[in-house]
Amino acid sequence: NRSIMLNRTVAVGPGSRKAFELFIATDKRCQACAKRGIDLFFCSPEHQKLVWKHHKHVCGPNAHPFHFPPLSQREVDELLEQGDTPLTLDMANVDAIMRVAEPDEVQRLSALVKQPPRTVRQGIEEDFGAPSGSFSQLRSPSAFPPHQQDMLLVARESLKSAKIERKSNSFLLFDELDFWSHVAALDFVLPPRREPSNEELQKSISWSHCRHQAVVIFSLLTSRRAAKNSATVPLDLIHCAIEQYFDLVGLAVPALDEPTAAYTAHTVLAAMWDVADFKLYIHRDSSGRVVVRFSPPPSWPFTA
């Protein structure tokens, strides 16, 4: 139980400075989340403020099971606008899944690859058993009830895929996606596994921890972009947040392999391209656990 901290002094407000130290143990944590079994540690109130704008939506009662906020009106409007966009499969993700998936999942994906792409409209209607034509009636966020978390995830992933398709490449600017679409996207990069199954994983407290850490990452990226002085959200802090995210994923998915970790890392780094040029190193340690670091020890023989 350690907080994300810095090994430098940074400005945190007019006329004040606060020293954060890297990986110093702390007992300061979000008390509301702790009541739901989520350990989210902060080294200081200033650190907590950097993520509070978004964390407050999944704090306390929504901490576990992690409860994604409703779609925004902007997201609903964009979904309707993108309704007829065909969604082609992300073959990099499909290939990563097929390398490690169970035979029945490989068979399902092989058949899916051969089918013509569905549109956003068709995908949402078919996935949720809605009558044909009902998609056009989804005019407000209330059409996507927050308790239907699968629908929120699919809607956000469909919107992201449609935007990528419209741009004819896989490159989106950070602000082209809603904040919660960035967080939700990380749910779609880990392939289905029998141990644990996707359904079991998404309900587990270990996956709730992963999702909370994803909120921390994208909150820090959002804060850094908005800050007049980028030193208020130093890269060291973002690095630590990302490394901790992968540590949590490794605990939640013990069977995590290097290709899947690399694909997940690509998804995270794609949101950071305009912040700095990064390289992540991926290694399977002696215990068999996949570890991801920005600055690897000299002993690591494998990088990605």
Q: Name the H helices within 24-137.
A: 31-34, 45-55, 73-81, 91-100, 103-114, 120-127
Q: Looking at the structure, do residues 145 and 218 belong to the same domain, yes or no?
A: no
**pLDDT given for residue 216 in this prediction:** 93
Q: Are residues 197 and 61 in the same domain?
A: yes
> 133 φ, ψ to 5°?
95, -10
Would you say residue 3 lies in a domain?
A: no
- Which among 188, 217, 240 is the end of a domain? 188
Q: Is 10 helix (H, G, I), strand (E, B) or coil?
A: strand
Res. 87: pLDDT tops 80: no
Of 123, 154, 188, the residue at which a domain comes to its end is: 188
Residue 71: what pLDDT? 87
Same domain, 84 and 143: yes
Q: 3-state DSSP call for residue 274?
A: coil
Per the model's pLDDT, the better-predicted residue between 46 and 35 turns out to be 35
Predicted local confidence at residue 251, as pLDDT: 86
Asked if pLDDT for residue 10 goes beyond 60, the answer is no
Structural contact between residues 85 and 120, judged by C-beta atoms closer than 8 angstroms: yes
Domain shared by 159 and 211, yes or no? no
HSE, side-chain direction, 13 A CA sphere, residue 278 = 25
What is residue 191's predicted lDDT score, i.e. its pLDDT?
A: 52
Does residue 8 belong to any structural domain of this protein?
Answer: no
**Over the chain, what is the mean pLDDT?**
76
42 and 178 fall within a common domain: no
Question: Does 17 fall in a domain?
Answer: no
Do the beta carbons of residue 70 and residue 41 sit within 8 Å?
no
Show the domain range for 133.
73-188
Using pLDDT thresholds of 50, 70 and 90, give the confidence band for residue 4: very low
Domain boundary pick from 155, 188, 221:
188
pLDDT of residue 26 exceeding 90, the answer is no
Q: Is the pLDDT of residue 302 over 60?
A: no
Structure confidence at residue 5 (pLDDT)? 37
Half-sphere exposure at residue 15, Cβ-oriented, CA atoms within 13 angstroms: 0
Q: Is residue 9 situated within a structural domain?
A: no
Of 189, 192, 188, 248, residue with least CA distance to 217: 248
Cα separation, 174 vs 288, in Å, equals 34
Residue 6 confidence (pLDDT): 35
- Tell whether 83 and 174 lie within a shared domain: yes
Within a domain: residue 12?
Answer: no
Residue 259 clears pLDDT 80, i.e. is over it:
no
Residue 52 to residues 35, 48, 103, 186, 218, Cα–Cα distance (Å): 17, 6, 43, 20, 12
pLDDT band at 304, cuts 50/70/90?
very low
Residues 179 and 216 in one domain: no
Claim to verify: residue 160 and residue 119 sit in the same structural domain: yes
| Same domain membership, residue 233 and residue 177 | no
Q: Which residues pair with 2 in a beta bridge?
A: 25
Higher pLDDT pick, 145 / 238: 238
Whole-angstrom distance, CA of residue 151 vs CA of residue 156: 8
CA 21 to chain centre: 26
Q: In this structure, are 97 and 239 located in the same domain?
A: no
60 with 164, same domain?
A: no
Q: How far apart are CA 173 and CA 201, in angstroms?
A: 30
Q: Are residues 163 and 261 in the same domain?
A: no
pLDDT tens digit string along 218-243?
999 998 888 776 777 888 888 888 98
Longest dimension (CA), the chain: 62
Entry pTM: 0.80
Q: Please report which confidence band the pLDDT of residue 180 belongs to, taking 50, 70 and 90 as the band edges.
A: very high
Name the domain count of the chain.
2
Q: Is residue 222 part of a domain?
A: yes
Q: Is residue 236 part of a domain?
A: yes
Answer whether residue 109 shows pLDDT above 80. Answer: no
Instruction: Work out whether the CA dihedral 164, 167, 171, 173 comes out positive or negative.
Output: negative
Domain annotation covers residue 58: yes
